[in-house]
Every structure is written in C-alpha cells, then in structure tokens.
Structure 1
Amino acid sequence: MPRAARVPAPQPDSHPGAGLGLPAEGPGSIGGWGRRIVGLCIDWAVASVIAHAFVNATLGRELGPLAVFALMHVVLVGTTGFTIGHFLAGLVVRRADGGFVGPLRALLRTALLCLVIPAVVSDPDQRGLHDRAAGTVIVRR
C-alpha cells in the first residue's frame, strides 16, 4: 500500500512571499489584500468616470468601464508597473524574479484579472492565478 504524501509543516518564520524570497514587511513585501482592494476600487472608479465621459455611448454602461479598466491595466502595468490605484495604495506589479513586467505579461495578467475568478484564487504567497500565469507579483513600494 502506498504511503500518503507528507505535507511539510508550516515554518514559524513563514510569511506570504517567503517562497519568492520577499521580505515579511516593508518595501518589496507582498501587498496585502486591504491595499489591493483599495487600489482596485480606485481603478474601477477612475475607469467608470472615463467610460461615462467617453466610452459608454459606444460600448454601453456595462462594457465601457470594463474596457477602460482593462486598457488602463495593460498600458499602465505594462509600462510603469502600476495603475493609478496601485500607486495610491503603495503597490507595484513586478515579475516574480524582480524584473519589469512588460506589455505581454501585462496583457495576460489583465485578461485573467478581468475574468475575476483567477484573481480571487490565490496561493500561500498571496499570488492570484492571474499573477502566477503571468509570472508577476504585487508588492509594496
């Protein structure tokens, strides 16, 4: 009879991001859920205002904000590493190896983020499936 696989016991100094070599707190540590939600709300509000002013007549009230939100994320995360909401919440998106995100990773990450489910399913390092697929992580600035 095969033996059951043993799950390693959590280490007392284990923290989100430890598996990625990130510090427990301060700059470069995993951005917490509170900061992420604040950043998301800010980004959605900005996207809604822009959509109301410029896009809703074309795409409608339902798709306008989502389209602007997605475009903001692809362009801003792909070029600067953060959106307006990320910046105001003190967060930045970077590759898991610490490098620049770039447009292709930002596009993949954003497409999965807009599906919602990949963003709310996370691993012990608090990376959503959208971040794992894109090889990115959200950290504090």
Structure 2
Amino acid sequence: MVDRRDLGSWLEGPPVQPGQWPGRRLGLPQGGSGSIARPGRRVAALCIDWGMSYLIALLLAGGNQGNEFLILAVFAAEQIMLVGTLGYSFGHRLLGIHVRKLDGGAPGPLAAIVRTLLLCLVVPALVFDPDQRGLHDRAMGTVLVRN
C-alpha cells in the first residue's frame, strides 16, 4: 500500500539524518535567508520560466505552436543571460531564490552557460545530493538559495 509519507519523500529529496539539514555541510543555515531552496520552490520557478519561454516562443513564431526547440532556446537564453548576470531568472526572482557560487559570489557567465546546458538535458537536475544540489549545480560549484 502506498502511504502519503512515501509520496512526500521524493518531493523532499534524499533522507537527512537527525541534526542534519540540506546545506549544513556547505555552511548554510537550516532555514531563512541563505538556506538551500527547497524542491517545491525550484519546481515552481522552473514552471514559471518554462511558461514564459513558451509564451515568448509563441510570439516569435507568429502564433504557430509546436516548435519545441524554439521554446528550449528561449528558456536557455533566459537562464544564461539572467543567471549569468543577475544570479536569478524570472521564476527565481518571483519565488525569492537565487543562484550563487559556494564562496558567496555571483555565478558568472561560464557557470550560467554550463549550468543551463546541463539543466536543458533534464537528467542532471533530477540527480541530486543530500544538500539538494543537482549535478548541474555541483558541476559549477553553485547552489540555489533563498533570498
């Protein structure tokens, strides 16, 4: 029988030992500003960014639907430009989260490009560690934290 706790566990990420929390190994607080952004906010931000990319692609294509590559290209351009310069996308900003390097600095253009390319492959974002950092964040030494 499937239990509600079973369904909730995959949304919360890998199990955490008592006295531990995502980001503790990285020196981040358990909650509040600077803590690891939880999966719910991340998924919601992704949906906002994807929806905006879809609308922009629809406008660029003159109302013709069905060009998935254009949607992906718009999404990638948004992520690279905004995360690389500001540290957040539209969805991140609306949900109060941002990307930063582990040393606290801005991600920069190279990190934004590599992170976005891996994010567009989808699988690296689905494989994450106990600190809830996907492979795309681990590859570039970045972390998604709350404002």
Q: How many residues align?
A: 131
Partner of 1:124: 130
5 Å-filtered alignment, 1:64-103, equals: 64-103=70-109
| Letter aligned with residue 34 of structure 1 | G
Show the 5 A alignment for 1:1-141: 12-55=18-61, 61-141=67-147
Q: 1:11 to 1:21 in 2, by over 3 A?
A: same
State the superposition RMSD in angstroms: 1.7
* Structure 1 unpaired stretches of 5+: 1-9
Query: Percent identity, aligned pairs only?
Result: 56
- The whole-number CA distance in structure 1 between the counterparts of 2:48 and 2:92 is 8
Deviation for aligned residue 1:55: 4.5
Q: Is the 8 A contact 1:30 1:126 kept in 2?
A: yes
Higher-Rg member (1/2): 1
TM-score for the superposition, normalised by structure 2? 0.85
| Corresponding residue of 1:7 | none
Residue number in structure 1 paired with 2:11? none
